[in-house]
Amino acid sequence: DAKTTQPPSMDCAEGRAANLPCNHSTISGNEYVYWYRQIHSQGPQYIIHGLKNNETNEMASLIITEDRKSSTLILPHATLRDTAVYYCIALDRRRGSQGNLIFGKGTKLSVKP
């Protein structure tokens, strides 16, 4: 699976958009970009995933560059409860693959009042 690179930490003001970048320059054509977050001492929570097109759900938006070498997770109106470690992961979803998520250290997002 492709390795991803994220900044170790970011701050965001409450109510503002949080834009979390991720580089995945070696991603293959079969690998999806997944985002999870982990609030302290809890299990990771799935946020969103995409392959080529931009995606949006009730939690966030995912913007993937045309060459697929990087992506940005957008939390449109960050709240204090969005303070967490955010993980960007490249995953091959085909049945022949192992299917496990390779977590790096992620980005620690601190939302401040």
Partner 1 sequence: DGGITQSPKYLFRKEGQNVTLSCEQNLNHDAMYWYRQDPGQGLRLIYYSQIVNDFQKGDIAEGYSVSREKKESFPLTVTSAQKNPTAFYLCASSRWEQEISEQFFGPGTRLTVL
Residues at the site binding partner 1, with contacts judged by CB under 8 A: 34, 41-46, 49, 87, 91, 93-95, 97-106
CB of 80: closest distance to partner 1 in angstroms? 21
Give 50 or 111: the residue with its C-beta nearer to partner 1.
Answer: 50
CB of 41: closest distance to partner 1 in angstroms? 7
CB of 105: closest distance to partner 1 in angstroms? 6
In terms of Cα–Cα distance, which of 51, 53, 54, 43 is closest to 87? Answer: 43
β 107-112/9-13 pair status: parallel
Give 39 or 80: the residue with its C-beta nearer to partner 1.
Answer: 39
Give 61 or 103: the residue with its C-beta nearer to partner 1.
Answer: 103
Give 49 or 69: the residue with its C-beta nearer to partner 1.
Answer: 49
Question: Could you give the C-alpha distances from 104 to 4, 48, 55, 85, 112, in angstroms and in order?
Answer: 8, 17, 23, 11, 24
Contacts of residue 69, defined as CB under 8 A and 6 or more positions apart, other chains included, come to: 23, 24, 25, 27
